[in-house]
Structure 1
Amino acid sequence: MATLKVGLVSPERELWSGEATTVVAQTIEGSLGILPGHAPVLGVLLDGSVVKIEPANGGETIIAMVGSGFFSVAGDEVAVLAEQAELSGEVDVPDAQRALEEALGGEDATAERRARARLRAAGVEA
């Protein structure tokens, strides 16, 4: 079975790397699903969105909140380079809910989108 070599990184660390069967990311131009053999692509990640990766070994889906950044596909290699990223299992749900409540009262749309994305990544609808 054909696979993708995927890397999900932020400036602080590599969050995940490995072989995957699919990657779904939201760019400023819309949702993008990548399978092996996809044409080359360079996109801008939608700030405050969620990336989903299906590992080739059949393991649990990798879900991460991402801030601004880039998404590239070349050959069967996918790079997700996010300014801010957080894996679903690392999200502090009460903290994300507080951040959303604070953002709803202000004018910072980016903070609201990121708080909502953190909750979606953790499996909590906001």
Structure 2
Amino acid sequence: MADTTLRVELVAADRVVWSGEATQVEARTSEGDLGVLVGHAPVLSVLVPGVVQIAGTDGENVAAVVEEGFLSIADDRVSILSEDAFLVSELDRSQVEAELEQARQDEDEAAVRRAEAKLRGTELA
């Protein structure tokens, strides 16, 4: 019988953010949004700042904000590797808004994109 779940690991540079079994993963890559189900073809892609959504097998839906990184899919294993990643439950909207404002004042487009991704994540919490 074929496996019916994905083994998912979401890893930041300093910690494992989430690890477990899932039925589906959605992530944003440099090529566009990507949905992953069991049996997905092997892929190695570049992540862009955005929200990753994981449908856990226990009914838990996990949402996380990732920065730049990589997404690897092979043999029903999904590895999401990002320099920095946060579960949306870890984000404070007012703090993220302040971070976005500072990035705009600094005219740091990369920091603006990261803060905007975090802000989208807070809307899911």
TM-score normalised according to structure 2 size = 0.93
Q: Which residue of 2 aligns with 1:52?
A: 53
Q: 1:25 aligns with which of 21, 24, 27?
A: 27
Q: CA deviation at 1:120?
A: 1.1
Q: CA deviation at 1:92?
A: 1.8
Partner amino acid for 1:7?
E
Residues 32-43 of structure 1 correspond to what in structure 2 (within 5 A)?
32-43=34-45
Q: Which residue of 2 aligns with 1:3?
A: 5
Q: Which residue of 2 aligns with 1:88?
A: 88
Q: CA deviation at 1:93?
A: 1.3
Q: Which residue of 1 aligns with 2:98?
A: 98
Q: CA deviation at 1:122?
A: 1.5
Q: Deviations over 1:10-56 (max 9, x none)?
A: 1110010100010001000111000000000000001x211110101
TM-score normalised according to structure 1 size = 0.92
Aligned pairs, number: 122
What's the secondary structure of 1:97's corresponding residue? helix
Q: Which consecutive unaligned segments of at least 5 residues does structure 1 have?
A: none
% identity of equivalent residues:
48
What's the secondary structure of 1:36's corresponding residue? coil
Q: Which residue of 1 aligns with 2:109?
A: 109
Q: Deviations over 1:63-93 (max 9, x none)?
A: 1111111000001000000011011000021
